[in-house]
Amino acid sequence: MIYLISDHHFGHTNIIKYCDRPFSKDNQGMVKNAEFMYNAHQETVTENDFVIFLGDVALFRSHTKEDLKRMLKALKGKKFLVLGNHDTMSLNFYKECGFIDVQPYYIIGDVMLCHYPLLPDTDRPELRKIMLDNKIKTLYHGHIHNKVLNQKDGIERFNFSVEKINYTPKCVDNSLIQKYFENLHLLLRKP
Strands (E), the chain: 2-5, 50-53, 78-82, 99-103, 105-108, 111-114, 138-141, 156-159, 170-172
Looking up residue 26, the CATH number of its domain turns out to be 3.60.21.10
Helix (H, G, I), strand (E, B) or coil at 99: strand
Q: How many separate domains does the chain show?
A: 1
What are the φ/ψ torsions at residue 130 (nearest 5 degrees)? -60, -45
Domain that holds residue 132: 2-188
Report which of 140, 114, 142 is spatially closest to residue 128, judged by C-alpha positions. 114
pLDDT in tens, 79-137: 999 999 999 999 999 999 999 999 999 999 999 999 999 998 888 999 999 999 999 99
More confident of the two residues 81 and 30: 81
pLDDT in tens, 168-183: 999 999 999 999 999 9
